[in-house]
Structure 1
């Protein structure tokens, strides 16, 4: 039973990681102006004279007492599309880089491909593909916890 829970947790964690990596990749893409115009959906303008403020309640715990505060919620007109989501992700990424001083993460595969390009080799060269495959296998083994077992077996021989 515990193995099933661990496996499910690992699969969920892995899928979340893939989703976040995809979003980060999307945030680093550059779009043309034509692509921005295709998938835009504008929220209709709201006349402030006719606008109704919605009251939302939020529970705030204060010494085991629930106190409800009413907060006015006024909808703001903005563009809702993939481009705006990506721009927000870029802004947050840039803010994170400024705050932490950590530059963008460069994937090991990109390092291998750039090194091959400097040597004048193609990305599809057999040596380069072999090196990429070995790196992927190494990562996969580390994730599954097999790398320590393989290293122990190598040292015993």
Structure 2
């Protein structure tokens, strides 16, 4: 729930300011998410037995906020240079491509998680200190680089 609230706040902020900041906004979101993953990993590593929801609130909310800043303007920026007459098809293709991407990302993250914990619910702290945090954190710099492929502004529509 905390992640979702952070993501809602990040997406709302991003949608309202994308026109002014363009792709710099989702890149900043990726960096915020990366910083929160580092904070999450450090807290999980230093507080093995007394890791509480309250202690993890700030990193989890910031992770959601950063991911919301990436996801909020992503469709507008990805489709910015599509001609108006092809916008419907491009939007459908974009939305269709998002589903396998989300499914693949979730499956790979679950694979890393369950291989780290051996399927045991007792291994969450260990998993969050090592491969899972590194897996999720490692994808964020890749995301930052890929955002450079997007148009600088979301409103640079070709007519």
Q: TM-score range by the shorter chain?
A: under 0.3
- Computing the radius of gyration over CA atoms, which structure comes out larger, 1 or 2? 1
Structure whose residues are more often strand by fraction: 1
TM-score where L is the length of structure 2: 0.26
Higher relative contact order (CA 8 A, sep 6+): 2
Higher share of residues assigned helix:
2
TM-score, scaled to structure 1 = 0.27
